[in-house]
């Protein structure tokens, strides 16, 4: 699909009113797409009848599925059953109903949590099935990975054009800053800003700080999805990331500097670190649809901190 194909096309974005969707939808519109952004108020996508009605009404040419039940380590540990069911059910219903309606293209946004716990670094797409995911988020990761299997099966049996993207941890303005359900970057930003404003000398952080992660700025992620929707039509999954690895300790220290926190960090080794390392090989995205991240971590963090403190 070349870049002109989105012009005049009806594109349905599940989760379109959420964090990533709020950046993606304007980019699609700038390409000339006719965008319908679905949010929670539009209905429960875990219900097949709701999905069927929404798709029948919108009659999209392309579906981009962002909607998910997501959270950090604590949220995954608290609700593993819900995370498995909701993420599997939404994807299964959307793929099946899209196939039944003859929708031309389906873009499934998966998760780096689908990778095995001890995947060699950098993670390559061929390693996706080499082991079991990290236990703290395995139900979520497996539910999302099952949708890759479904898309491949539907491509083989029905000729259904479904593609699958594997983004790393996203961050940026408009992220979820709820300490009970947020991911690591918004949680740390909120903790450091609160500690700074209240004059506290210590910030408590989960784990040992030794685990590493790769982070992708939300606008870069949105650009990658647009590029894939325009140019990628193959069955193989594609990593989407920045190819830059940072330890949680380095991340916490950087956020402390950016927020102006002058105290100390107290690590809690009784809390889980999660997967030991995460860093992607992103060569397939570059080769297949020309995507490379452009936002350095420090710049993205400054923008995110500025957004949070100016609300």
Q: Name the residues annotated as catalytic.
A: 140
Is residue 92 packed enough to be buried (19+ CB in 10 Å), middle (13-18) or exposed (0-12)?
middle
The count of residues in the chain is: 311
Distances (CA, A) of 64 to 100, 142, 180: 16, 20, 28
Show the tokens assigned to 46: 């875990």
All residues at 6 or more sequence positions from 250 whose CB lies less than 8 Å from its CB, including other chains: none
∠ Cα 103 111 292 (to 5°): 85
Distances (CA, A) of 109 to 69, 118, 145, 247, 280: 13, 22, 10, 25, 16
> What's the CA gap between 17 and 217, in Å, rounded?
18
> What's the CA gap between 231 and 60, in Å, rounded?
18
Closest CA to 146 of 110, 100, 117: 110
> What's the CA gap between 260 and 254, in Å, rounded?
10
> What's the CA gap between 112 and 138, in Å, rounded?
11
Closest CA to 9 of 78, 133, 104, 142: 104
Distances (CA, A) of 296 to 25, 91, 247, 249: 23, 32, 15, 18
């Amino acid at each position: 699909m070349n870049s002109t194909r989105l012009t005049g096309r009806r594109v349905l974005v599940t989760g379109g009113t959420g964090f990533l969707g709020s950046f993606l939808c304007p980019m699609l519109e700038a390409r000339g797409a006719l965008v319908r952004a679905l949010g929670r108020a539009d209905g429960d996508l875990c219900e097949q009848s709701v999905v069927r009605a929404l798709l029948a009404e919108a009659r999209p040419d392309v579906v981009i599925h962002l909607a998910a039940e997501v959270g950090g380590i604590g949220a995954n540990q608290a609700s593993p059953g819900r995370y498995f069911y909701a993420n599997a059910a939404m994807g299964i219903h959307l793929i099946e109903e899209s196939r039944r309606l003859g929708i031309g293209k389906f873009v499934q946004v998966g998760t780096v949590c689908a990778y095995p716990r001890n995947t060699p670094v950098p993670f390559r797409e061929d390693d996706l099935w080499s082991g079991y995911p990290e236990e703290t988020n395995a139900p979520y990761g497996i539910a999302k990975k099952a949708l890759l299997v479904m898309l491949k099966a539907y491509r083989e049996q029905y000729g259904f054009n479904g593609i699958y993207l594997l983004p790393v941890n996203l961050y940026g303005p408009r992220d979820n800053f709820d300490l009970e359900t947020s991911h690591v970057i918004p949680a740390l930003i909120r903790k450091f800003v609160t500690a700074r404003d209240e004059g506290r000398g210590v910030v408590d952080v989960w784990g040992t700080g030794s685990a590493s992660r790769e982070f992708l700025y939300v606008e870069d992620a949105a650009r990658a999805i647009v590029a894939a929707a325009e140019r990628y039509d193959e069955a193989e999954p594609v990593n989407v990331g920045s190819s830059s690895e940072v330890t949680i300790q380095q991340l916490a220290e950087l956020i402390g500097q950016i927020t102006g926190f002058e105290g100390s960090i107290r690590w809690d080794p009784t809390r889980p670190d999660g997967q030991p390392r995460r860093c992607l090989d992103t060569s397939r995205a570059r080769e297949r649809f020309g995507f490379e991240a452009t936002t350095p971590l420090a710049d993205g963090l400054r923008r995110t901190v500025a957004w949070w403190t100016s609300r």
